[in-house]
């Protein structure tokens, strides 16, 4: 790993985002509503009733070190971000299939 790409942070350090929070805080509720109404990314969600939304916390993950064949890793990585999640999903599917009761012939 190239040393210039390593970034060290202490626990509790905050990264500066690109959101202009002062501008957001200065907006009225009407301005926020108008901004949302004009946002094309919001169009698919504007008619959803969020009052019954349920927060689902993902299962805790445990960091491990695992050796896999290079071509297997590249296969998952070429699919884009989230390759570790996809590997986990494949392993979970295998685990669930193995845990099913065996059918008797």
pLDDT (tens digit per residue) in 27-53:
999 999 899 888 998 888 878 888 888
pLDDT of residue 5: 73
Within a domain: residue 94? yes
Residue 18 lies in a domain: no
> What's the sign of the alpha-carbon dihedral 61, 67, 72, 73?
positive
Mean pLDDT of 18-26: 90
Q: What is the pLDDT of residue 7?
A: 73
Residue 28 lies in a domain: no
Instruction: Let me know if residue 92 belongs to a domain.
Output: yes
In a domain, 11, yes or no: no
Domain limits for position 81: 63-100
Global confidence as pTM: 0.47
**What does the pLDDT read at residue 105?**
67
- Domain tally, the chain: 1
CB 35 within 8 A of CB 27: yes
Evaluate whether residue 72 is within a structural domain.
yes
Query: Do 76 and 87 touch, CB atoms closer than 8 A?
Result: yes
Measured in whole angstroms, the distance separating CA 12 from the mean position of its chain's CA atoms is: 21
Longest dimension (CA), the chain: 71
The residue whose two tokens read 């919001």 is: 42
Query: 6: pLDDT confidence band, cut at 50, 70 and 90?
Result: confident
Confidence of residue 2 (pLDDT cuts 50, 70, 90): low
The answer to the question of residue 38 being in a domain is no
The pLDDT-based confidence of 93 (bands split at 50, 70, 90) is very high
**Sign of CA pseudo-dihedral 67, 96, 92, 78:** positive
Domain-located, residue 58: no
């Amino acid at each position: 790993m190239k040393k210039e790409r390593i970034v060290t942070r202490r626990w509790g350090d905050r990264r500066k985002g690109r959101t202009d929070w002062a501008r957001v805080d200065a907006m009225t509720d009407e301005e926020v509503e108008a901004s949302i109404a004009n946002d094309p990314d919001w169009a698919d969600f504007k008619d959803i009733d969020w009052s019954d939304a349920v927060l689902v916390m993902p299962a805790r993950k445990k960091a491990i070190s695992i050796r896999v064949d290079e071509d297997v890793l590249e296969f998952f990585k070429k699919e884009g971000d989230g390759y570790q999640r996809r590997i986990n999903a494949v392993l979970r599917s295998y685990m669930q299939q193995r845990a099913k009761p065996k059918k008797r012939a």
